């Protein structure tokens, strides 16, 4: 998963026109302000990151049977490790308690 993308074109020569609700526009503007970007910069960065994530989800990895079996063993183990409990208890911004 791509967590951060910075798209800096040499020169912007194409435009994209979108129709969105005022609420969506206001949300985007608030997020852009927090990031220190204007609306266009924020939307370009977010769109590029989403596109990279979508394409990365389509990656095909070919491995030998031994590596695949090891991978499945690791996935079958319960989650653990330093910080796991703290992460699971951390508040999420999209859920109010």
Going from the first residue of the chain to its last (97 residues), give the mean pLDDT of each consecutive group of 10, the final group possibly shorter.
Answer: 53 88 96 96 96 88 94 90 85 74
Burial of 73 (0-12, 13-18, 19+ CB in 10 A): exposed
**Amino acid 97: pLDDT:** 57
Please list, in sequence order, all residues whose beta carbon lies within 8 angstroms of the beta carbon of residue 29, skipping any fewer than 6 positions away: 39
Q: With respect to residue 17, please indicate whether it lies within any of the assigned structural domains.
A: no
Q: With respect to residue 47, please indicate whether it lies within any of the assigned structural domains.
A: yes
What region, left, alpha or beta, does residue 83 occupy, with left being phi > 0 and alpha being psi -120 to 50 degrees? left
Q: With respect to residue 15, please indicate whether it lies within any of the assigned structural domains.
A: no
**Amino acid 94: pLDDT:** 79
**Amino acid 5: pLDDT:** 53
Q: With respect to residue 5, please indicate whether it lies within any of the assigned structural domains.
A: no
Question: What is this structure's pTM?
Answer: 0.53
Total domains, the chain = 1
Q: With respect to residue 31, please indicate whether it lies within any of the assigned structural domains.
A: yes
Identify the domain containing residue 30 by its residue range: 22-89
Q: What angle do CA 4, 77, 91 make, to 5 degrees?
A: 45
């Amino acid at each position: 998963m791509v967590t951060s993308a910075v798209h800096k074109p040499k020169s912007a020569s194409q435009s994209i026109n979108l129709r969105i609700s005022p609420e969506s526009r206001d949300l985007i503007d608030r997020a852009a302000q927090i990031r220190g970007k204007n609306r266009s910069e924020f939307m370009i960065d977010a769109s590029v990151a989403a596109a990279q994530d979508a394409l990365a989800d389509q990656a095909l990895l070919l491995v030998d049977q031994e590596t695949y079996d090891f991978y499945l063993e690791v996935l079958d183990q319960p989650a653990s490790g330093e910080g796991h409990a703290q992460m699971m208890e951390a508040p999420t911004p999209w859920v109010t308690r």
